[in-house]
Homo-oligomer: A and B are copies of this chain.
Amino acid sequence: MKKVLLLTPGPTPVPERALLAMAKPMIHHRTSEFQEILKEVEESLRYVFCTKNDVLILTSSGTGAMEGAVANLLSPGDTAIVVRGGKFGERWGELCEAYGVKVVALDIEWGKAVTPQEIETALKNNPQAKAVYVTACETSTGVSVDVKGVAAVVSKTSAVLVVDAISSLGGVEMKMDEWGVDVVVSGSQKGLMIPPGLAFAALSEKAWKLVKESKCPKYYFDYTKAKKCVEKTDTPWTPAVSLVIGLNEALKMIKEEGLENVLARHAKLAVAARSAMKALGLEIYAKSPANALTAVVVPQGVDGEKMVKNIRSQYGISIAGGQDELKGKVFRLAHLGYMNEFDLVVGISAIEMELHKQGYKLELGKGVKAAQEVFCAK
């Protein structure tokens, strides 16, 4: 008997409460019933984004909201500073290039985080840059960026700071207003615990000013149109009704647990995961590891791709392999969203058993023990 357990950095497990809400008969989106749900969702999203700004709800994967954050802010010929330290940082660059935006690339060695100082220097060298694009948690490498520090630097300039918080929101602290982040984009299938299909964007006043000047073509991802709709608790196009209904339940759960507690839970899970991997003699890939997932270097003699496949096929448990240049070189264990101590215990346990089968020398249970010690610590 295999039980499905998702320990991947998106999609993450969907709480039963959200699954059941989504399994109810379909309702129409232009009704007071749906409008009440949408209103609750909008309020809850502001709470999770730590912002007073409207949070736009888009029916797309996170990449759609990212595209919007280029097409709505900039014009062809504009310059943007793009931090590229993994697959998703590279996506910001590709998006800018697709719209004729000049990219000043800050290429960071994979596994390392950009520093606020590096961004400060890039802004000084490129004062014409209208925007800085950063990935809060680079899902491909497990690296966490000091968004607060970056925001302190960018907010002193005329440029706006755009943060991809797709795999961090709801798991890693993101104080949009307090830190002075101008644009935060996110998605539904990570810390927000529902299936993929919704994306979000929140913009500061400084960012909305830039939107007014933008000359890139846009329609489906037109943020101005979406904002007008939020103001009357509506959506510009038919939204993914069932996902919005599921999101409402997931957001209620976050509110009931309390955002601070949710973030503390993620922090503890992350410490436990790293501690477990180290106890097994494994190396954490990221120098500045994120609380959403732990990327681990595949040890010599172990087949990383086979490892991920075996754990899934034999045990029903999904961890993620490496992407692009990290294919086969790392495995990624997520601890994001609807996830508690025992999910992690199961994940660590499966990793231990598969490594053991592949001939890697370890003491079974040693990783689990290290995690338990973190959980039991005061």
Contacts and interface: CB of A to CB of B under 8 A. Distances in A.
A79 B8 CA distance: 46
Contact of A22 (B22, B25, B100): B22
A11 interface: yes
A165 to B, nearest CB: 15
Interface stretch (A45-53, A237-245, A352-360): A237-245
A67 interface: yes
B14 A28 contact: no
A100 B20 CA distance: 45
A240 B196 contact: yes
A221 B63 CA distance: 10
Interface in A3-35: 4, 6, 8, 10-14, 19-20, 22-31
Interface stretch (A201-209, A211-219, A370-378): A211-219
A241 B26 contact: no
Given A11-B26, A71-B217, A196-B241, 19 more contacts: A4-B25, A6-B25, A11-B27, A11-B29, A11-B241, A13-B25, A13-B26, A14-B25, A22-B195, A26-B189, A26-B195, A60-B64, A61-B220, A63-B219, A64-B220, A98-B218, A98-B219, A99-B219, A197-B243
24 contacts: A4-B25, A6-B25, A10-B238, A11-B27, A11-B29, A13-B25, A19-B22, A19-B23, A22-B22, A22-B242, A26-B189, A31-B318, A59-B59, A59-B60, A61-B220, A62-B238, A63-B237, A64-B220, A94-B219, A195-B240, A195-B241, A197-B197, A197-B241, A217-B217
**Top 4 A-B pairs, shortest CB-CB distance:** A197-B240, A23-B23, A195-B242, A61-B237
Interface of A: 4, 6, 8, 10-14, 19-20, 22-31, 59-64, 67, 71, 94-95, 98-100, 187, 189, 195-197, 216-221, 237-243, 312, 318, 320
